[in-house]
């Protein structure tokens, strides 16, 4: 068994299926990734109104998304908060991050979902990298640079097929 990996993010062991989390979109509809085009996704787990450190992580993931160039359509970013953002905050965030999706998830359910992984007390904000099949497999936070995120996602895009 290899003991060394080349990834920059922290592996989430075991990988967790995000279909087990009840996500609701900004308009209250359930988010069902199984009904959507398969993509790599960054689920950014933010604080209540996503201030300070959360904004920094959103900025980093946005820059990574831009730097993907012609491969950007294969990746999506989604901000997940425990409660819906205020209307004003939602508009501010949409202006700064036009391609960002917004969703809510019950924090207790999310913590329970992570409890059997090696990141049971995952801090917020954090970004979960989700594969095309809907499994969260890697974790990033503000200690990771944009270059580290970019290196990982480029490698994953290179070795995964476009569905």
- The length of the chain, given as a count of residues: 163
Query: What are the pLDDT digits (tens) for 1-20?
Result: 566 778 999 999 999 999 99
Domains of the chain, CATH where assigned: 10-21+36-159 (3.40.30.10)
Determine the pLDDT at residue 49.
80
Angle between helical axes of 53-67 and 146-159 (0-180°, round to 10): 40
How much of the chain exceeds pLDDT 90, in percent?
A: 83
pLDDT higher than 90, residue 34: no
């Amino acid at each position: 068994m290899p003991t060394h990996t080349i990834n920059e993010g922290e592996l989430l062991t075991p990988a967790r299926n995000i279909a087990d989390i009840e996500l609701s979109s900004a308009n209250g509809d359930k988010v069902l990734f199984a009904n959507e085009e398969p993509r790599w996704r960054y689920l950014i787990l933010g604080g209540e109104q996503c201030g300070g450190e959360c904004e920094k992580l959103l900025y980093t993931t946005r820059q990574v998304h831009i730097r993907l160039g012609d491969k950007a359509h294969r990746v999506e970013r989604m901000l997940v908060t425990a409660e819906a953002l205020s209307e004003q905050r939602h508009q501010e965030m949409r202006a700064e991050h036009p391609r960002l999706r917004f969703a809510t998830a019950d924090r207790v359910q999310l913590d329970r979902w992570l409890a059997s992984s090696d990141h049971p007390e995952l801090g917020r904000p954090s970004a979960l990298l989700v594969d095309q099949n809907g499994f969260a497999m890697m974790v990033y936070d503000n200690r990771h640079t944009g270059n580290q995120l970019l290196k990982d996602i480029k490698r994953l895009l290179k070795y995964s097929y476009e569905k």
